[in-house]
């Protein structure tokens, strides 16, 4: 199968690309390398260094005969989306539409979309949130992710392009860049290994649902083979607060740093945790890597760097 992976030099998408290639698919990557790394790119993938907003993206769909698009390219910084919502929309909304308009004209059959659990649901009414939870995004980032989901429904109804929407929790693991909320694992690991002092925003009791990148890769493989269109949460259903995360990583790195706090970030969500019961029941997916094991693998990755 010819699969276009947008943002394929990035943390999650490069791991997904490796799995697609191992499964025998032909992977084409488009990435502007604003945050992605060349060293993440599989040597068997064909790479186009290009922004997803570039009209020349048409050439990729025309020449490569793309059947499936795995869309991970994004402006992924929640705080930047708040300070510059126009930029967030230009990448996450208009960039996506640029891809889809060419895709529908050149035979695109399916889209795998990396959406977001926490940022779409906002402050939760119940824990963990399932796919039926009200959508109340508190940031332009969450808004554009939700908007993209709505556009996917449009392209399914009007043009027959299937979609599998994966609403990620907070992904961590090898190759992670210290961007976005989930970047706290990379930030803490790097700083502690270098003997530097990490800081915790607020009281550190804010919780997130941390899922290992290897488990996310398996969800993408299942989504690739799923027949039809659907939305699935990808998370563990387990809340971990920042203080707990700090001490897990401190132990793994052997650091002697202090637990140091600074004032909380304005508007930061306090609790975020999602249920993956739906994809477990329908596709058999469930997280297999515990937080302790996942953090161990991640710290070793940064240690070896």
Active site residues: 141
Q: Answer for the pair 211, 168: CB distance below 8 angstroms, yes or no.
A: yes
Q: Cα 66–68–73 angle (5° rounding)? A: 95
The residues pairing with 28 across neighbouring beta strands, listed in sequence order, are 4, 46
Query: How many C-beta atoms surround the C-beta of residue 255 within 10 A?
Result: 20
Taking the C-alpha atoms of residue 112 and residue 72, their distance in angstroms, rounded to an integer, is 9
Question: Coil, helix or strand for 274?
Answer: strand
- Candidates 48, 49, 37, 44; CA nearest to 12 is 37
Using DSSP's 3-state secondary structure scheme, residue 169 falls into coil
The residue ranges of DSSP E strands in the chain, in sequence order, are 2-6, 26-31, 46-49, 68-71, 110-116, 162-168, 170-172, 200-201, 207-208, 210-212, 230-234, 240-241, 261-262
Is residue 67 within 8 A of residue 122, CB to CB? The reply is: no
Residue spans of alpha helices (H) in 194-241: 213-225
* 207-208/240-241 β-pairing: antiparallel
Q: Which residue has the tokens 């991640």?
A: 298
User: Among residues 77, 90, 102, which one has the least CA distance to residue 10?
Assistant: 77
End-to-end Cα spacing for the chain:
33
| DSSP secondary structure, 119-164, as one string | HHH-S-SSSSB-TTS-----SHHHHHHHHHHHHHHHHHHHH--EEE
């Amino acid at each position: 199968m010819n699969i276009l992976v947008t943002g394929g030099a990035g943390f999650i998408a490069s791991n997904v690309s490796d799995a697609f290639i191992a499964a025998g698919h032909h992977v084409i990557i488009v990435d502007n390398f604003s945050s992605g790394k060349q060293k993440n790119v599989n040597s068997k993938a064909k790479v186009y260094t290009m922004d997803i907003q570039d009209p020349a993206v048409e050439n990729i769909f025309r020449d490569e005969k793309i059947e499936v698009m795995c869309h991970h390219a994004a402006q992924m910084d929640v705080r930047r989306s708040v300070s510059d919502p126009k930029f967030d929309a230009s990448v996450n909304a208009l960039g996506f539409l640029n891809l889809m308009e060419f895709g529908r004209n050149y035979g695109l059959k399916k889209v795998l979309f990396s959406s977001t659990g926490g940022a779409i649901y906002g402050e939760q009414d119940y824990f963990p949130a399932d796919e039926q939870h009200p959508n109340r995004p508190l940031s332009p980032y969450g808004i554009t992710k939700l908007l993209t989901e709505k556009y996917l429904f449009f392209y399914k109804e009007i043009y027959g392009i299937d979609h599998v929407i994966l609403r990620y929790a907070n992904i961590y693991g090898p190759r992670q860049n210290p961007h976005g909320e989930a970047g706290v694992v990379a930030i803490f690991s790097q700083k502690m290994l270098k003997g530097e002092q990490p800081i915790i925003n607020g009281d550190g009791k804010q919780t997130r649902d941390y899922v290992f990148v290897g488990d996310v890769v398996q969800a993408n493989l299942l989504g690739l083979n799923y027949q039809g269109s659907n939305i699935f949460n990808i998370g563990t259903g387990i809340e971990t607060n920042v203080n707990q995360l700090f001490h897990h990583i401190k132990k793994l790195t052997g650091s002697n740093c202090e637990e140091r706090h600074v004032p909380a970030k304005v508007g930061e969500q306090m609790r975020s945790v999602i249920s993956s019961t739906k994809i477990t029941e329908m596709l058999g997916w469930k997280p297999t890597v515990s937080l302790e094991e996942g953090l161990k693998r991640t710290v070793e990755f940064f240690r070896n760097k």
